[in-house]
Structure formats: structure tokens, C-alpha cells
Amino acid sequence: MAATKLNALRQVVIDLATVYPGLTAHVEIYLVPRIKAVESMAPLEIQVCEGSSAYTAHDSCRSEDFEILVGIFRKYRLDSDGRHANALADLTLSIFKLKETTVDILAGKFLSDLLTRPLVITGETAVTEPADGQLLKILSFIAGLNTEMT
């Protein structure tokens, strides 16, 4: 089951790369052990990682619900000529559009039939600033797998 979960995470990276043509899978969209800001990041990067898991057993089947976290990092710079209001408004729209595009491509997907239950969006964080000049929004999805118990 671990291999299937890892393949599902890899498929999320690939699927996201299809809707963000300026970003490359495994370069600006990649797997991480946890969502983490890095100083040398590109202006836009997306990190994907595994969150928590819950296991239940039903007769001869074990069900696993696991969380997939998608962190959207956006670098920004405010100019000193008094145009910060426009820059912040544009940044807000950009993050909102990135979030919506990510939800649209992932919600309801079985990830090339790797999952037995489709991805469902379960939450999102407020925008945070993990490093100076970097904003982050994390989306949480739940995915489902079933395996036969022997």
C-alpha cells in the first residue's frame, strides 16, 4: 500500500504540472517530506506531501484515508514608489487563482485509478509568510485506498 500512496503523490505532481505550463514537475512542483520554505525558491513553487492517515478495517478489507497537502509558495516584492496597493491586490488575485486551479485539477480525481476513493478538498490554511517576501497557502485533500487483508 505504501507504494500505491507514493505513486498517488507522484501523480499529483504530474497532474499539477499539466495545468501550470510554466512550472516543471520535479523542479518547481515536487514532493517534500513536509511543506517548507527554502530561501532559493523560484517565484512560484508547489510542494506536495503526505499528511496524516486513518485506517479502518471492514471484514476482509482495510480502508486507508490519507491526507495530501499541497503548498503553494509565491514570492513577492513591494516597490517603494507607492504602488504597494496594486501589487498586493494582484498578489491576492494570483494566490486565489492558483488555489482555484489546484482544486479544479485535483478534486474528484482518482489519480489514474491509483485511488479507490477520489480526492476531496477538506481545507485550506490562511495565507502565511514563512520567509520574508514569500507567501504560502496550504490545501488539504483526503484520498482513499482499500486493500484486502489476508
Read off the pLDDT of residues 116-140 as tens digits, 9 standing for 90 and up.
999 999 999 999 999 888 999 999 9
For 130, residues 6+ apart whose C-beta sits below 8 A from its C-beta are 36, 37, 136
**Structural domains of the chain, count:** 1
Q: What is the pTM of this model?
A: 0.90
Residue 58's domain comprises 2-148
Question: Which CATH number is 6's domain given?
Answer: 3.30.2000.10
62's grid cell: 482495510
φ, ψ of residue 70 in degrees (nearest 5): -125, 115
Q: Which residue has the higher pLDDT, 104 or 78?
A: 104
pLDDT digits (tens, 9 = 90+) for 15-49: 999 999 899 999 999 999 999 999 889 999 999 99
